[in-house]
Amino acid sequence: MPVSLFIFDLDGTLIDTLTDITNSLNYAFARRGLKNALTEKLVRGIVGEGIGRLIEKAIAREGAAGDGNGQKLAEDLTRDFLAHYRRHLLDHTQTYPGVPETLKGLKGFKKAIITNKRVPLTMKILEGLDLAREFDLVVGPETAGERKPSPEPVFYVLRQLKAKPEEAVVIGDSRFDIEAGRRAGVKCTVAVTYGYGNMQAGSYENKPGGPPVKGADYVIDSIEKLLPTLYKYEPMLERRTAPRD
C-alpha cells in the first residue's frame, strides 16, 4: 500500500531546541539556589521524554534532591523552567538543515507531529518558524493520554487523519519514536542520527525490503535523504512530482 502519511518527532528531528532548553533549565536551577550549570552535552542525553522527566533526570544528575524534598523541588523547578522557556522559545531554536524544503516537498501527503513537548509550546515554536501550516495535526503528551514509546499517540494520529498503519511512516531521533512506530505497525520507521537520541547507523540494521528488525527500517544522517531513501525502497504516492533519485 502506498505511503500517504508522514509522522514526525519534533525536538532533535525537525528543530534544534537544545540551547533554549538548557538555558531555561539553568535559569530554574539558579533560581532555586542550585548553582551547578547544566551543559548542553548533559542535557542532550536526558531530553526527549517530556518536561517532567527532563526535570527529574536533571535533579538526579545534579544530586539536588538529597534533602528529601525531591517532589517539591521538581514542582518548583518545572514551574520556573516553564515560565522562562515560554519567554525564550525562539531565542536560539531553529530548524535543522533541509527541513523546510523537505516538508514543502511532501505536498500531497498528510503530515503530523507527535512530540513529548506540550502542544501550546509546540505551536508557538512552529508558528515562529513558519512551519505550522505544513502539518495537518500536532499531538502532544496531553492529547492522546500516553507518551511515546507507547503506540497510542500513533494510533490517535491514524484515527484522526483516517490512515491505516501500513500507509504511515514514522521519523524520529530516539528509540522512543522508533518503538512507538513499530508497536503501532506502521509501514516503516526512519531514524535520524543528527538529533539528541544517539541513534547511530551502526546501532540499527538497515535492510530495505527485508524482514522486521529490532531497530529502525532506515537510518539517515540528514532529513534531506528522507524522500530519496523512501522513493528508492517504498511505494509512494504517484502525485508526487519531485525527482525520485
Residues near 120 by beta carbon (within 8 Å), at least 6 away in sequence: none
Cell of 127: 508558528
Which of 9, 11, 20, 173 is an active site residue?
A: 9
What are the helix (H) ranges across the chain? 18-31, 40-44, 51-62, 70-87, 99-104, 119-128, 152-160, 175-184, 226-233
Answer yes or no: 80 catalytic: no
- Strands in 168-172's sheet, in edge-to-edge order, are 137-139, 110-114, 5-8, 168-172, 188-192, 218-220
Residues identified as active-site: 9
